């Protein structure tokens, strides 16, 4: 499902991720963690602008989900309550949830380059020899999906790397690099339909025959070259790797004291289900929500903050009667999609994707469905990357905790209206605060050659890190005093900046890169007629408004 395009939606495929990362660094949105020591892979810090931006996103979620949730499918108010649980929990939690046994990624090491890959993110193409009709050897590229893999495959041709690989193949397997390697031509006409589908097109389209790393046989691995490797056959067999970080509780580093950093915030919610029931006046249907850090020792952190090892989640576990799952699942899916649109991802870069049956997590197999709300990041374009998953988790987690904690039926909910005791089912909308922030940054990034900055950040006013800037035109003649008074007043309500340095043009340029929607300038006329100029970020238009109306103006614009 996509919504109509809006002018705010510049094509993300045309945006350069390198430029976005450079702006984030230069303007203090996001930096590498511990940068002065060379950084650490998969960890990121938010600078002054980034911290405000991410906070705005989390505050909007908290406000719109916990304090003022939308009305439910029947038009009734819904109950939502927050919790704030610890990162380290009793390790039995993660046995019950299935994370100790099953929170694994398949990993493949390459002996030649010493690089490590997620085996499900290695795509191995097997060119077809047009003359012998046989697959020859495998060429592996690293990508999150087939679309990206095809791009990497094209890159191999564009950069000439493929010729180098053919030369290596000729040395290792006696392959003749001048052979018509799967390029469709006259001889291609003689191929069967099946062979044609496995054959390169004239523009080096991939041959249609590929295998994902997890499915490579040992024989295929021996004939495959890993990315940047200098010979074939150096990839090792895929191994399962548990993503949970481990540490020890207390001074003794023994197995009994082993604990985990939580890989999701959801389990803290399930563990407190009974506490919430016993202490609040909630009745099914109701939700418990939490925002907090999660940690995953990702095999290949990549794409800026998209796949980090430390990140923040915004999760809801919404408890319902089992027979109401279908209705609530569809309602939450659509409500969450509408929310992402409302915070500024309103164009074609946002989509809702229902999972195929074979993609469903084990706990969701018997459920009403799972869908992802996805954003077209510049690095996934033309494909999409997940921002939030909405899943019907059935009663899997509560049943598991009932069994493993020994609480059994005490963890059931007593439905007074029905005079019935049951494990409620759960709809879980689980969003990433860092991925959301990254999507806001990518969406806002708007190159504009007419501006001195060459770019501006078109955040919705609600998300903008700085809502307004106040400038005295010059740092004398009574202007700084008036501007400072205005600034001190506005900052009581909003994130506002005061800037007296450099020319007014340079100050506008700084605010354009920060994405500040309004700049107020106190000038010579202000002292005469008590008006200021307001400059609108998107149009660069200026108008004069009364000094004593600035606060009301901003309140209306930011409402
Ligand atoms: N409780 C369900 C759960 O954790 P998930 O799909 O694994 O589901 C939910 O994670 C969200 O958390 C994702 O949609 C994504 O936004 C965010 N997320 C997951 N892994 C991440 C990572 N390594 N880096 C940044 N965000 C991540």
307 Cβ inside 6 Å of ligand 1:
yes
Ligand 1 atom with least separation from CA of 386 = 14
Is the pLDDT higher at 203 or at 24?
24
Global confidence as pTM = 0.87
316 Cβ inside 6 Å of ligand 1:
no
pLDDT at 129: 58
332/427 Cα distance (integer angstroms): 8
380/48 Cα distance (integer angstroms): 27
- Asked if the model's pLDDT at residue 10 lies above 60, the reply is no
Is the pLDDT higher at 225 or at 147?
225
431 Cβ inside 6 Å of ligand 1:
yes
Q: Whose CA is nearest to atom 21 of ligand 1?
A: 307
Percent of the chain at pLDDT exceeding 70:
90
Ligand 1 atom with least separation from CA of 430 = 9
Closest CA to 97 of 244, 246, 300, 198: 244
**Secondary-structure breakdown of the chain: helix, strand, coil percentages, each rounded to the nearest 5:** 35, 25, 40
Residue 392: in which H helix or E strand, if any?
Answer: strand 385-394
* Beta strand 496-498 pairing with 468-472: parallel
Query: Rounded to the nearest whole angstrom, what is the distance from the C-alpha of residue 535 to the centroid of ligand 1?
Result: 39
429 Cβ inside 6 Å of ligand 1:
no
Place of tokens 């049956």: 357
Percent of the chain at pLDDT exceeding 90:
77
Contact 229, 113 (CB under 8 A): yes
- Asked if the model's pLDDT at residue 265 lies above 90, the reply is yes
Q: Whose CA is nearest to atom 2 of ligand 1?
A: 430
pLDDT tens digits, 404-457: 999 999 999 999 999 999 999 999 999 999 999 999 999 999 999 999 999 999
Place of tokens 């007014």: 504
Which tokens hold the place of 208? 């249609």
Ligand 1 atom with least separation from CA of 265 = 1
Average pLDDT over residues 328-342: 97
Query: Rounded to the nearest whole angstrom, what is the distance from the C-alpha of residue 302 to the centroid of ligand 1?
Result: 14
Closest CA to 175 of 149, 213, 139, 208: 139
Ligand 1 atom with least separation from CA of 391 = 2
Query: Rounded to the nearest whole angstrom, what is the distance from the C-alpha of residue 296 to the centroid of ligand 1?
Result: 9
pLDDT tens digits, 167-200: 888 888 877 656 545 433 334 445 555 555 545 5
Contact 238, 213 (CB under 8 A): yes
Pocket test for ligand 1, best of 41, 264, 304, 433 (most atoms within 8 A of CB): 264
pLDDT band at 141, cuts 50/70/90? very high
Place of tokens 């988790």: 393
Average pLDDT over residues 55-68: 98
6/538 Cα distance (integer angstroms): 14
**Counting runs of H as helices and runs of E as strands, what totals does the chain give?**
18, 27
pLDDT band at 335, cuts 50/70/90? very high
- Asked if the model's pLDDT at residue 223 lies above 50, the reply is yes
- Asked if the model's pLDDT at residue 5 lies above 50, the reply is no
266 Cβ inside 6 Å of ligand 1:
yes
Place of tokens 């600078």: 47
pLDDT band at 134, cuts 50/70/90? low
Ligand 1 atom with least separation from CA of 433 = 16
Q: Whose CA is nearest to atom 8 of ligand 1?
A: 430
pLDDT at 194: 54
182 Cβ inside 6 Å of ligand 1:
no
Pocket test for ligand 1, best of 389, 394, 438, 439 (most atoms within 8 A of CB): 389
pLDDT tens digits, 452-492: 999 999 999 999 999 999 999 999 999 999 999 999 999 99
Query: Rounded to the nearest whole angstrom, what is the distance from the C-alpha of residue 70 to the centroid of ligand 1?
Result: 24
* Greatest distance between any 2 Cα atoms in the chain: 88
91/100 Cα distance (integer angstroms): 9
pLDDT tens digits, 502-527: 999 999 999 999 999 999 999 999 99
Query: Rounded to the nearest whole angstrom, what is the distance from the C-alpha of residue 46 to the centroid of ligand 1?
Result: 19
pLDDT tens digits, 84-133: 999 999 999 999 999 999 999 999 999 999 999 999 999 998 876 555 54
pLDDT at 434: 98
Residue 508 CB-half CA count within 13 A = 20
Ligand 1 atom with least separation from CA of 312 = 26
Query: Rounded to the nearest whole angstrom, what is the distance from the C-alpha of residue 385 to the centroid of ligand 1?
Result: 11
Query: Rounded to the nearest whole angstrom, what is the distance from the C-alpha of residue 313 to the centroid of ligand 1?
Result: 7
Pocket test for ligand 1, best of 350, 386, 388 (most atoms within 8 A of CB): 386
271/40 Cα distance (integer angstroms): 33
pLDDT band at 495, cuts 50/70/90? very high
Which backbone phi and psi does 93 adopt, to 5 degrees?
A: -55, -45
pLDDT tens digits, 283-316: 999 999 999 999 999 999 989 999 999 999 999 9
Ligand 1 atom with least separation from CA of 436 = 16
Average pLDDT over residues 205-222: 80
pLDDT at 8: 39
374 Cβ inside 6 Å of ligand 1:
no
387 Cβ inside 6 Å of ligand 1:
yes
Query: Rounded to the nearest whole angstrom, what is the distance from the C-alpha of residue 215 to the centroid of ligand 1?
Result: 25
513 Cβ inside 6 Å of ligand 1:
no
452/444 Cα distance (integer angstroms): 17
Pocket test for ligand 1, best of 61, 332, 432, 434 (most atoms within 8 A of CB): 432
438/53 Cα distance (integer angstroms): 10
Average pLDDT, the chain: 90
pLDDT at 1: 30
Which tokens hold the place of 44? 């990121």
Pocket test for ligand 1, best of 305, 308, 313, 436 (most atoms within 8 A of CB): 313
- Asked if the model's pLDDT at residue 263 lies above 60, the reply is yes
Residue 213: in which H helix or E strand, if any?
Answer: none
């Amino acid at each position: 499902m996509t919504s109509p395009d809006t002018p705010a939606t510049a094509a993300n495929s045309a945006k350069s991720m390198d430029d976005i990362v450079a702006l984030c660094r230069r303007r203090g949105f996001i930096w590498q963690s511990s940068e002065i020591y060379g950084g650490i892979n998969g960890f990121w810090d938010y600078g002054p602008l980034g911290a405000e931006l991410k906070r705005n996103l989390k505050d909007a979620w908290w406000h719109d989900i916990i304090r003022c949730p939308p009305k439910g499918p029947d038009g009734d108010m819904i109950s939502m309550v927050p919790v704030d649980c610890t990162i380290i929990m009793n390790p039995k939690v993660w046995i019950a949830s299935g994370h100790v046994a099953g929170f694994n990624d398949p990993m493949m090491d390459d002996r030649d380059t010493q690089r490590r890959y997620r085996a499900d993110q290695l795509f191995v193409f097997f060119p077809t020899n047009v003359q012998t009709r046989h697959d020859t050897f495998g060429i592996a590229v690293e990508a999150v999906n087939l679309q990206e893999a095809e791009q990497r495959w094209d890159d191999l041709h564009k950069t000439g790397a493929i010729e180098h690989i053919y030369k290596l193949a000729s040395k290792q397997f006696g392959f003749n690099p001048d052979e018509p390697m799967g390029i469709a031509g006259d001889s291609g006409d003689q191929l069967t339909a099946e062979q044609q589908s496995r054959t390169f097109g004239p523009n080096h389209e991939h041959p249609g025959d590929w295998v994902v790393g997890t499915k490579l046989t040992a024989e295929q691995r021996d004939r495959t070259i890993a990315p940047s490797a200098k010979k074939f056959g150096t990839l090792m067999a895929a191994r399962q790797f548990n993503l949970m970080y481990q540490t020890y509780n207390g001074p003794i580093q023994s197995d009994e004291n082993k604990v985990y950093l939580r890989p999701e915030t959801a389990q803290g919610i399930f563990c407190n289900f009974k506490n919430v029931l016993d202490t609040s006046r909630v009745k099914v249907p109701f939700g418990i929500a939490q925002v907090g850090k999660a940690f995953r020792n990702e095999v290949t952190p990549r794409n800026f903050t998209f796949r980090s090892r430390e990140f923040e989640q915004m999760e809801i576990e919404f408890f319902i009667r089992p027979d109401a799952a279908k209705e609530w699942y569809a309602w939450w899916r659509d409500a969450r999609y509408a929310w992402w649109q409302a915070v500024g991802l309103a164009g074609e870069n946002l989509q809702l994707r229902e999972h195929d049956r074979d993609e469903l997590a084990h706990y969701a197999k018997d459920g009403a469905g799972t869908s992802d709300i996805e954003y077209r990041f510049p690095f996934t374009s033309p494909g999409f990357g997940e921002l939030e998953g909405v899943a019907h988790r059935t009663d899997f987690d509560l049943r598991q905790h009932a069994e493993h904690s020994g609480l059994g039926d005490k963890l059931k909910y007593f439905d007074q209206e029905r005079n019935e005791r049951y494990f409620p089912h759960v709809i879980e909308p689980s969003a990433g605060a860092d991925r959301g922030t990254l999507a806001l940054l990518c969406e806002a990034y708007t190159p504009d050659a007419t501006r001195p900055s060459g770019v501006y950040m078109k955040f919705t006013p609600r998300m903008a890190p700085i809502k307004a800037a106040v400038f005295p035109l010059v740092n004398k003649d009574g202007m700084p005093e008036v501007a400072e008074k205005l600034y001190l007043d506005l900052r009581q309500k909003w994130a506002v900046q005061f800037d007296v340095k450099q020319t007014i043009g340079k100050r506008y340029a700084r605010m354009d890169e920060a994405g500040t929607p309004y700049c107020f300038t106190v000038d010579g006329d202000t002292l005469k007629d008590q008006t200021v100029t307001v400059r609108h970020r998107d149009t660069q238009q200026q108008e004069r408004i009364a000094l004593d109306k600035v606060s009301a103006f901003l309140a209306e614009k930011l409402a």
